[in-house]
Amino acid sequence: MDSVSHPITPIAYLRNNYLNAAPAELALNFLLPSATESQILDANQQLFRAMKLTQNIGRTTLAHLAVVLGAIVLVGCTTTRERGVDQGVTAPTPSTVVSPTQETATKPIDTEQFPPPPVRIKAGPSEPFADADGNQWLTERGFVGGNWVEWGEREIANTKTPRIYWSELYSMESFSYPLTNGKYIVKLHFCENFDGIGGPGDRVFTFNVEGKEFKDFDVWVKAGGPRRAYVETVEVEITDGKLDVTFIHQIENPEINGIEILPAP
């Protein structure tokens, strides 16, 4: 029997090398006890190992395998592959839902994608670069949702490295970064570049860093006007293997230019 039946329900999509899941979904892992990729998948499909699946609610799970159909990435598909049985191998069986806490505790951190602190992450479109103090900034990673905007080269007050603020991510929902448990310093970089913001109160949002809430946050007010850098520094203690930051829309969209994660002294 050469036919393959594969009813598939997508629960995640690929964005900039990250898998973004719907708020109420978890990942299901594919188990391939003895079948090979070519025996299980059609020629136009691809099997790859997914490092991370981040949910919109800010919780993190890890998915062992994912399936690519065209431009859509499907994680936890309920796929029946009878071809594997016909060829004398074991067909994949969907596993039970994986507990995010359990997976985070046991899955090793991908240190290439998520190097240990000190780490500096540029939000928005960018190439890796060094700031005025020689610190390396990585390209965007760890964010869920949002859109990019690139402002181009311009003068930014209150900083020795204006490049940090030449692009931004806005309307994002959360940020997550795997860490060894312990104490850290988190620095969030903001700058109001949008000409549609004309004064205090035009952009107001709330963000939460590991349970510490910054309510009614106004970049214009904090920085003292437009095109002025402002850095919010937060001391946190990680106990669940990851740093979580969530953003709540109030007036206009939340925005951010970069995040630093540093070991606490």
* Per-residue pLDDT reduced to its tens digit, 135-190: 999 999 999 999 999 999 999 999 999 999 999 999 999 999 999 999 999 999 99
Joined tokens for residue 25: 């979904």
**N residues, the chain:** 265
Query: 190-239, pLDDT tens digit by residue?
Result: 999 999 999 999 999 999 999 999 999 999 999 999 999 999 999 999 99
Please tell me the distance from the alpha carbon of residue 109 to that of residue 177, in angstroms, as a whole number.
Answer: 10
pLDDT greater than 60 at residue 27: no
Choice between 36 and 148, residue whose per-residue pLDDT is larger? 148
Query: End of a domain among 74, 106, 138?
Result: 106
Q: CA nearest 180: which of 89, 105, 90?
A: 105
pLDDT score recorded for residue 112: 81
Same domain, 124 and 253: yes
- Domain assignment present for residue 1? The answer is no
- Domain assignment present for residue 248? The answer is yes
- Domain assignment present for residue 112? The answer is no
Please count the helices (runs of H) and the strands (runs of E) in the chain.
4, 21
Please tell me the distance from the alpha carbon of residue 91 to that of residue 28, in angstroms, as a whole number.
Answer: 16
pLDDT greater than 80 at residue 91: no
Please tell me the distance from the alpha carbon of residue 130 to that of residue 120, in angstroms, as a whole number.
Answer: 10
Same domain, 53 and 180: no
Same domain, 32 and 101: yes
Residue with tokens 């985070």: 104
Please tell me the distance from the alpha carbon of residue 74 to that of residue 131, in angstroms, as a whole number.
Answer: 38
Max Cα distance, the chain (Å): 70
CATH of the domain at 213: 2.60.120.430
3-state secondary structure at position 23: coil
Q: CA nearest 139: which of 174, 172, 167?
A: 167
pTM above 0.95, yes or no: no
Q: Which domain covers residue 245, as residue numbers?
A: 119-263
- Domain assignment present for residue 5? The answer is no
Residues 6+ apart with CB under 8 A from 250: 204, 205, 206, 216
Distances (CA, A) of 165 to 1, 152, 241, 242: 59, 9, 29, 26
Same domain, 98 and 138: no
- Domain assignment present for residue 192? The answer is yes
Same domain, 50 and 133: no
Number of domains in the chain: 2
Query: End of a domain among 106, 140, 161?
Result: 106
Query: End of a domain among 84, 106, 128?
Result: 106
Instruction: Point out which residues pair with 120 in neighbouring strands.
Output: 260
- Domain assignment present for residue 206? The answer is yes
Same domain, 178 and 50: no
Joined tokens for residue 182: 């312990």
Residue with tokens 């719907």: 22
Joined tokens for residue 128: 């890796």
pLDDT score recorded for residue 87: 32
Same domain, 165 and 196: yes
Q: CA nearest 106: which of 210, 241, 239, 237?
A: 241
Same domain, 68 and 147: no
Residue with tokens 């190097």: 115
pLDDT cut 70: percent of the chain above it = 60
Same domain, 141 and 251: yes
Same domain, 134 and 198: yes
- Domain assignment present for residue 3? The answer is no
